[in-house]
Structure 1
Amino acid sequence: MKFAFLIFKYFPYGGMQRDMLRTATRLAEAGHSVDIFTMSWDGQMPGGNMRVHVMPGKGWFNVQKYDDFIRQAQARIKREFSVDLVVGYNRMGGLDVYFAADPCFIERAHKQRNWLYRLTPRYRWFQAIEQAIFSPQASTQMLMVDMAEKAVFQRWYHTEDERFHYIPPYLSSERLQLHDRAEMQAYLRKAFNLPAQTRVALLVGSGFYMKGLDRAVHALASLPADMRQHFTLIAIGQDKPAPFIKMARKLNVSENLIISRGRPDIPQLMQGADFYLHPAYRENTGLVILEAMASGLPVLATASCGYAVHVQAAEAGRVVPVPFEQATLNKMLAEMVSLTLSQDRQLQVWRDNGLQHARKLMTENDGDAEAKIMLHLAQQKTGSSA
């Protein structure tokens, strides 16, 4: 079978990007061919049955670049490639399959933005693209990492049930390759030039604003001075740090905040931290939450993240309820920091619970689920059994 994967940008530390490359790799290893079309590729190029085609979009604004890239990619696929299935990892028209890593756009636009935003060209473009995927007149199949979001899409677009396909969470085996905790604690503190006694929370992910780094900085500023003295928040990801550094300076907590670009040693850093902080505004999943649990990290997350339900189910930390209140996050962060400073037994209970839950999740998806569904859909479309 021949597959075309379309994704706006690839970088090695994004959750959706890693899902895309893993699925492409599984299909290629099974003897199928995968052509990946993207606006930019940051990282090592894959080989074998996988080929990457970089096609930068043209335009002054992002939506213009996206639109140009989609037009270029789909025209080239039609002209030069004979593919059995076109898979998109971002919203765009002309797809056979859409990997729904992001929550419903129009829902957020109505609940989190004012009416003026809904008059902008950006809103109109994304709403039209989303409708082209989910409307009953479309035939695009959806791979859902969070079936709770299915009801949201159906409320706006009345999409048929049979077009949704659920994918269980996936954790790579390397996430459960635990090292000596004391060694990892020393490794993290050496990596960021921190004193050995410093207690550390991690926040990882591209898009610091959506991940709630501003909320985290405000919560950091709310801690008593004596508590902050031995505590540092480390944020790692692909985003511009300047606004958050400025915020930390204004709130007099710049000495307690470190912001770093994406790194390849996240599993080791997670095993060396004291807890994981993820106060995101909204996320379909939040795979990094499960990765933290698999690393033995207690988690403090917002309930607006799809995978926060696993923190609650496993009793592996605390979850800030919705609707979000900064005061609640402030209080929970203070409790977490207090537990780490005193090395309370509760931390070990959360660690053990999270690890056990992560191991259970690994038995439900060995990493092949997405590839198997795509292969089945390609066979249905072509009438093939190959």
Structure 2
Amino acid sequence: MRLAFILYKFFPFGGLQRDFLRIARTCQARGHDIVVYTMQWDGDRPEGFEIHTWKPRTLSAHARNKKFHAHVFANLKHKPAAVIIGFNKMPGLDVYYAADTCYEDKARHLRSRWYRYGSRYRHFSSYERAVFDRNSHTESLLISAAQKPLFEKYYGTAPERLHLLPPGISRDRRRPENGQAIRTAFRQSFEIDDDELLLLMIGSGFKTKGLDRALLAIKALPETLRRKTRLFVIGQDNPRQFQLQAHKLGIARQITFFSGRDDVPRFLLGADMLIHPAYNENTGTVLLEALVAGLPVFCTEVCGYAHYISDAKAGELIKSPFNQQVMNSQLVKILESAEQRRTWQTNALMFADTADIYSMPEHAADLIETIGVRLSGAAA
């Protein structure tokens, strides 16, 4: 089959983008032709992919999205695909990969009521409705069970159109047999002493991931503990706001920023804990990547994959509603207990050996093929 994948932007370090690439490659390995439509492609181009890039010049994101959508579907009318798979919400999709949370729910609970009178809301709300409306034919691949009742609530989406996928953690994130040697070399390369504690934050969108909360928690550590604690932050975002915050808090020397990079497994092995106090997070793939590397996790319970940390007994959750003082106290307790962190590491590695947290691309490809067969039969 000829499969058309649509996403607004591709860059190598985004969670949505990495999921797209693994699903598309899985479909390609099964003999299907892959065509990609995107406004921007950064990074290497996979062999055998037919990639079309076109970015309209507009003043607003929603106007750009509309022009891009019209351009793509004009191309698809000229050269049809058996299945149209979108990684952003838009009309006309056969399959939608639900990397984002329910927009309507966020608009109603995280914004003022005046927000829903604006053109931005009208655009994104209409694009979400085009996917989930009870009269739509689009089938959605969900990666967070918590989102299913929200789409059913706001749009009356038929349950049989909402398919929950297992996580899809890449197996190269698992702790290798020489993990301790990699850790030692990593810490030596960054001049991290054995008695120092390295916290790690990974993810583009520093504001959403709660970096401000992490900086405040580090500032609140007792002085002796704070002096031996460092934070590495990895992500494709502008760090300036948070560099200024760290400077004002007097902890700038302990915070190191990195842009997105392809050697993240080395960081997972070299750190002492992943910290992820996100404001909202549909899933949080990095939580499971840390888990399979044996790295304890400290995250907010709003993350879609936070329950895996509890299931594995591999870290601690920050309860809702969020309270900065509670988080600060939790962090002190965690950093003061090396024994607890070792127990969490052992539990994490045991969980990684038994849990189904790797098969998302295969399940997604199965569903895409099934839908493609059904659509070709309907067309016939």
Q: Which moved more, 1:89-98 or 1:363-372?
A: 363-372
Give the deviation of 1:193 after TM superposition. 4.7
Matches of 1:171 and 1:249 in 2, distance apart?
35
**Aligned equivalent of 1:136, options 128, 134, 137:** 134
5+ residue gaps, structure 1, are: none
Question: Does structure 1 retain, via aligned residues, the 8 Å contact 2:167–2:359?
Answer: yes
Give the deviation of 1:231 after TM superposition. 0.5
Structure 1 363/219 Cα, relative in aligned 2: closer, same or farther at 3 Å?
closer
Q: Alpha-carbon deviations, 1:135-171, whole Å to 9, x = none?
A: 1121110001112210011111111111011111122
Structure-1 residue corresponding to 2:252:
254
SS at match of 1:285: coil
Give the deviation of 1:192 after TM superposition. 4.0
Which runs of structure 2 are paired with 1:160-199 in the superposition (5 Å)? Answer: 160-199=158-197
Structure 1 177/73 Cα, relative in aligned 2: closer, same or farther at 3 Å?
same
AA at the equivalent of 1:378:
G
Matches of 1:122 and 1:333 in 2, distance apart?
38
Q: Alpha-carbon deviations, 1:340-382, whole Å to 9, x = none?
A: xxxx222121011112222223477274111111111111111
AA at the equivalent of 2:36:
I
**TM-score where L is the length of structure 1:** 0.94
Q: Which moved more, 1:344-353 or 1:372-381?
A: 344-353
Give the deviation of 1:118 after TM superposition. 2.4
AA at the equivalent of 1:121:
S
Structure-2 residue corresponding to 1:155:
153
Give the deviation of 1:94 after TM superposition. 1.2
Give the deviation of 1:181 after TM superposition. 4.2
Give the deviation of 1:177 after TM superposition. 4.3
**TM-score where L is the length of structure 2:** 0.95
Matches of 1:197 and 1:63 in 2, distance apart?
50
5+ residue gaps, structure 2, are: none
Structure-1 residue corresponding to 2:2:
2
Q: Which moved more, 1:110-119 or 1:308-317?
A: 110-119
Structure-1 residue corresponding to 2:29:
29
Q: Which moved more, 1:356-365 or 1:111-120?
A: 356-365
Question: RMSD across aligned C-alpha pairs, in angstroms?
Answer: 1.7
Structure-2 residue corresponding to 1:349:
343
SS at match of 1:155: helix
Question: Does structure 1 retain, via aligned residues, the 8 Å contact 2:217–2:327?
Answer: yes
Q: Alpha-carbon deviations, 1:115-142, whole Å to 9, x = none?
A: 2322322122111111111111211100
Q: Alpha-carbon deviations, 1:95-114, whole Å to 9, x = none?
A: 11110011111111121122
SS at match of 1:137: coil
Structure-2 residue corresponding to 1:212:
210
SS at match of 1:368: helix
Structure-1 residue corresponding to 2:71:
72
Q: Would you say 1:294 and 2:292 are equivalent positions?
A: yes
Matches of 2:220 and 2:107 in 1, distance apart?
30
AA at the equivalent of 2:2:
K
Structure-1 residue corresponding to 2:15:
15
Which runs of structure 2 are paired with 1:112-131 in the superposition (5 Å)? Answer: 112-131=110-129
SS at match of 2:346: helix
Structure-1 residue corresponding to 2:109:
111
Q: Would you say 1:321 and 2:319 are equivalent positions?
A: yes
Aligned length: 378
Give the deviation of 1:24 after TM superposition. 0.7
Q: Alpha-carbon deviations, 1:190-234, whole Å to 9, x = none?
A: 454544542101110111111111111111121122211011111
Structure 1 7/193 Cα, relative in aligned 2: closer, same or farther at 3 Å?
farther
**Aligned equivalent of 1:377, options 352, 365, 371:** 371
Matches of 1:204 and 1:198 in 2, distance apart?
19
Structure 1 110/363 Cα, relative in aligned 2: closer, same or farther at 3 Å?
closer
AA at the equivalent of 1:284:
N
AA at the equivalent of 2:50:
R
Q: Which moved more, 1:23-32 or 1:187-196?
A: 187-196
Give the deviation of 1:188 after TM superposition. 3.3
SS at match of 2:140: strand
Q: Alpha-carbon deviations, 1:275-312, whole Å to 9, x = none?
A: 10111111111011000000100000101001000011
AA at the equivalent of 1:235:
V
Question: Does structure 2 retain, via aligned residues, the 8 Å contact 1:203–1:235?
Answer: yes
Question: Does structure 2 retain, via aligned residues, the 8 Å contact 1:169–1:361?
Answer: no
SS at match of 1:76: helix
Matches of 2:187 and 2:109 in 1, distance apart?
41
Matches of 2:241 and 2:223 in 1, distance apart?
23
